[in-house]
Amino acid sequence: MNRQDDVNEGATETSPSLSQLGGATPIPSSPQEAKLETVVNPHRDRLYVVRFTCPEFTSLCPVTGQPDFAHLVIDYVPRELIVESKSLKLYLTSFRNHGAFHEECTVAIAKHLETLLDPQWLRIGGYWYPRGGIPIDVFYQTGPPPADVWIPEQGVAPYRGRG
């Protein structure tokens, strides 16, 4: 995937070219069909963190077809672009009928955002609910965070069962 292919042609700070925002948009049938859109970062002169939390992320086990559930937390420090939130919601929702292991889903989302946005820093925490009695948590980070930016903890408690 080429980053330039995903950047909206003709986007400006005041009127980005967005095809999904402001109208009815069907849920893409797969992550490959989903279109992540971007907006020019309105504060390119400042370091700040953007956080998206998806506490009801769903995908399918590629072997059994059973649903898998996760709490995703995506943090990034933008450069020139930020991801448009409706397109991100539709992209994440497109995984609901997608069969892939926890590791594949979590890292694929991170790599897609990394390619699209070229952020100064990005991390994703995939806190997966137990299947077969074992939760699998998957974490991805592009490197050390920039100095002088406040990055809060992700705030998701580890799974403790009923004890």
Q: Which residue among 5, 54, 68, 118 is the active-site one?
A: 68
Helix (H), strand (E), coil (C) string for 66-80: CEEEEEEEEEEECCC
Paired residues of 137 in beta bridges: 127
Paired residues of 140 in beta bridges: 124
68 as an active site residue: the answer is: yes
Q: Which residue among 5, 6, 45, 61 is the active-site one?
A: 61
Selection from 143, 155, 6, 138 nearest residue 68 by Cα: 138
75 as an active site residue: the answer is: no
Q: What does the alpha-carbon distance between residue 46 and residue 76 come to, in Å, rounded to a whole number? A: 13
Q: Any idea which residues carry the catalytic annotation?
A: 61, 68
